[in-house]
Amino acid sequence: MNAPPGPRALRDAFGTFATGVTIITGTKPGGEPAGVTVNSFTSVSLAPPQLLWCLQQDSTSMDAFAPHRAFAVHVLAQGQEALAMHFARRATVKFPHGANPAGDAAPLIDGALCRLDGTVEAQHAGGDHVIIVGRVSAVTFGTGDPLVFQAGVFGRFAPLPRARHVEAWETFEGDWF
């Protein structure tokens, strides 16, 4: 049997999977705004409307995403790479002073391709990460092209020539070619 892969090989292997990039915001119990750059975001369920992301266990933002707290997932657009890197910084003041949202609301970031608002439903153990499941209460669409992340590099999405629209939530029964 092969030895299990080390962290470097695992990072490289996970990194081959191209993803979008999100910034997920919330508010800590003391009222301090929190925001983290996340590419582990994924859809979970349509009914009920659920999504998830994986947050490293030692994230300084963990308290903001306790059950029942509000979150906002911002799906980033082309041109928001610097914002992504800003929210990938640890334990710095990520929001300008005075930009605190009212009460427990999640702070909002302009210019996203889409925003999914909701409340945290559950946190599940996931090794050195915590799997956070959120219930979606509203979606808001913006404009632009998606920001893509692969093998540690930001890029863009390029549809294939003659690409057809696929409804990923339905079983595909047609002929592809």
Ligand X SMILES: Cc1cc2nc3c(=O)[nH]c(=O)nc-3n(C[C@H](O)[C@H](O)[C@H](O)COP(=O)(O)O)c2cc1C
Q: How far is the CB of 74 from ligand X (least distance, A)?
A: 13
Asked if 61 interacts with ligand X (CB under 6 A), we say yes
Pairwise CA distance, residues 28 & 16, whole Å = 33
Dig out the tokens for 27 from the structure: 């508010």
Region binding ligand X by CB under 6 A among candidate stretches 34-42, 100-108, 110-118, 134-142:
34-42
Q: How far is the CB of 128 from ligand X (least distance, A)?
A: 9
Q: How far is the CB of 89 from ligand X (least distance, A)?
A: 6
Q: How far is the CB of 32 from ligand X (least distance, A)?
A: 11
Q: Which residue shows structure tokens 């990039």?
A: 21
Sequence-distant (6+) residues with CB within 8 A of 142 are 77, 111, 112, 113, 114, 115
For ligand X, the closer of residues 4 and 152 by Cβ is: 152
Residue from 82, 91, 102, 125 that binds ligand X (CB under 6 A)?
91
Rg, Å, the chain Cα set: 17
Asked if 56 interacts with ligand X (CB under 6 A), we say yes
Nearest partner of 34 among 66, 8, 1, 7, judged by Cα? 66
Nearest partner of 73 among 59, 60, 87, 63, judged by Cα? 87
Give the binding site for ligand X (CB under 6 A).
21, 36-40, 53-56, 59-61, 84, 87-88, 90-91, 149
